[in-house]
Structure 1
Amino acid sequence: MQKEEQLLEKHFIDLSRQAYHRNIITYSDFLNLNEQNILHSIPKDRLYTGLIVFGGYDFAERQMAAFIPDALSLRDIKDSDIFQSEISVLHISPLNKKYSEALSHRDYLGSILNLGIERGMIGDILITDSEAIVFVKMQMQEFLTENITRIRHTSVLATIDELTDFHYSPRYEEIKGTVASVRLDSLLSVAFSSSRSKLSGLIEGGKVFVNGRLITSNAYQVKEHDIISVRGMGKFEFIETLAFTKKKRIYVLIHKYV
């Protein structure tokens, strides 16, 4: 493990320790997939508390971690309620849609980071037809609403929505196919319409994550409703096994997010 990874692991353990001794919930910044993998790789006996991750909506890629003492019984509380005090939903829309540009994820992220904001303060950025939805740490919401006034050449307005009032269902393409087994490389082949041999290099090269955990084995057995993220290619959910063909191949259903 590299020094930066060791420091991050120590930071997570410290957050868990603080939560335990103070009997409060502590939170991390937004974590990328590599950082989430480090978090999930910590043995449970080294943490002092329970742990959940959430990014503002189901299937978010960038997520925050909440370290929850056992004394706080939160089993029946929704993730959005646990993170309500930590995550804000920022809406960025053009002041005049008629004269607005077609803005990309990079445009929005670049404008935010150019304000001096650290990447860990920002979660996913969702682009819709009329606006961008940006998940941010609540401590940054006032600064961002006051200072985001232009993206490239487009004048914009930034407003805040409460996390508990926000509802979003990601768009997806439904894909069906057959595999010999529910190995990771086989499901990637179905999702991205490519051969297993071409995709195996992505797995072995450390570019594939299952539920935020780095997986480097092509033969890894995927379970129903696992979320698979591939750097540079996108992500999909293995929904279910539908049936078996006469040749004993497995008919599977996948939702590929677009």
Structure 2
Amino acid sequence: MTVYEHFRPEERVFIDHILDMKERVIERYTPRLTDFLDPRQQRILTSLIGGEDGIRLSLCGGYEHAERKRALLLPPYIEEQGELFRLAYLEVHYPDRFGSITHPELLGSLTGMGVSRDKIGDLLLESGKVQFICTQELASYFALNLTSVGKMRVSCISIKSEDLLHSENKWQEFEGTVSSLRLDTVLSEIYRLPRAKASEAIAHERAKVNWEIVDKRDFDVHAGDCLSLRGFGRSKIISCDGLTKKNKIRIQYGKLK
């Protein structure tokens, strides 16, 4: 049995990257820092390295409830320090009397500047404030070049970590049953849609599993997966709890409030 058998085929490139980092830390005794990882990638990383002798693993996204985090792999003799994560915190100023900025608009503007999503952490939007976290080397680039979000003219300034909005995702939990763990079937249950409509949305690349677009309706989902359907919000599979008497699968899931 190989390590890959525990994960999905499309995750093999990421697994190889982590195993290479692990080998470098062990052989060269030097710290290694990842880009921002989504929660699924963090779970994979922890399962591959979490109990490894000779390596200390630490995750940081800038605040306590951060979703996207950078991982630091340390040899045992190096002390962990916050600055080793090389995070930057920025705030976007705009004339809110003319409108507001949405999460998709902000993300689209940032990645539209030629920056990989892996270099950007959480986007924080609350009570008229707009902030985001990124790798340290991109802070000055965004401060100078982020001048618009959507149709809104904006400016961007660096802030301190203590000035961040400390928001935590709030999930409303539900229970349901599905005939299978196919993506179209699960989305149909969670969002109360006809299965044909869920399948159509998947075919039009409106569905994501663990932050990646999935266009196959028969894609199998698992406990711990984060799902989203454009126009319907985000959800996650909390657990799969066996079969009913009619051979349906019991699932517990959460929907982002």
Does the 8 Å contact 2:209/2:228 carry over to 1? Answer: yes
Report the alpha carbon displacement of residue 169 of structure 1 after superposing the two structures with TM: 1.1
Provide structure 2 residue ranges, at least 5 long, that are not aligned to the other structure: 1-9
Match of 1:176 among 166, 174, 177: 174
Which SS does the other structure have where 1:168 is aligned? coil
- Which SS does the other structure have where 2:21 is aligned? helix
Corresponding residue number in structure 2 for 1:101 = 99
- Matched residue SS, 1:141: helix
1:148, 1:158 within 8 Å by CA — same for their partners in 2? no
Partner of 2:35: 29
Q: After the TM superposition, which residues 101-140 of structure 1 pair with which residues of structure 2 at under 5 Å, given as runs?
A: 101-113=99-111, 115=113, 117-140=115-138
State the distance in 1 between where 2:115 and 2:35 align. 12
Structure 1 Cα separation of the partners of residues 238 and 181 of structure 2? 14
Q: TM-score, normalised by structure 2?
A: 0.60
Aligned partner of 1:87 in structure 2 is: 87
1:40 and 2:79 matched: no
- Counterpart-to-counterpart distance in 1, 2:29 and 2:55: 10
* 1:184-239 per-position Cα deviation (integer Å, ceiling 9, x unaligned): 75654432213567657959x9x654699x999767652xxx34224646432345
User: What is the SS of the residue equivalent to 1:29?
Assistant: strand
CA contact (8 A) 2:66 2:122 kept: no
Structure 2 Cα separation of the partners of residues 101 and 93 of structure 1: 12
Q: How does 1:140-219 map to 2 (within 5 A)?
A: 140-151=138-149, 152-162=151-161, 167-172=166-171, 174-179=172-177, 183=181, 188-195=187-194, 199=198, 202=202, 209=209
Structure 2 residue identity aligned to 1:193:
R
Partners of 2:167 and 2:56 lie apart in 1 by 27
Alpha-carbon contact 2:33-2:73 (below 8 Å) kept: yes
Distance 1:89 1:227, change over 3 A: farther
CA-CA distance at 1:137 after TM superposition:
0.7
Deviations 1:96-155 (A, max 9, x none): 432x43333344334434555444322333333413221201222234334434434424
RMSD: 5.2
Aligned residues between the structures: 235
User: Taking structure 1 as reference, are residues 189 and 11 closer, same or farther at Cα in structure 2, changes over 3 Å only?
Assistant: same
Give 5+ residue unaligned stretches, structure 1.
Answer: none
Quick one: distance in 2 between partners of 1:83 and 1:188? Answer: 41
Structure number with the bigger relative contact order (C-alpha 8 A, sep ≥ 6) is: 1
Q: Does structure 2 retain, via aligned residues, the 8 Å contact 1:183–1:221?
A: yes
User: TM-score, normalised to structure 1's length?
Assistant: 0.59
Amino acid at match of 1:127: L
Distance 1:220 1:87 in 2: 32
Cα distance change on mapping 1:150 and 1:142 into 2, 3 Å: same
Identity of aligned residues (%): 19
Secondary structure of 2:134's match? strand
SS of match in other structure, 2:128: coil
1:221 and 1:14, CA in 2 relative to 1: closer, same or farther beyond 3 A?
A: closer
- Residues 197/136 of structure 1: CA separation in 2 closer, same or farther (3 Å cut): same
Letter in 1 for 2:107: L
Alpha-carbon distance change, 121 to 188 in structure 1, aligned in 2, over 3 angstroms: same
Alignment of 1:19 with 2:51, yes or no, is: no
How far residue 248 of structure 1 moved from its aligned partner, in angstroms, is 10
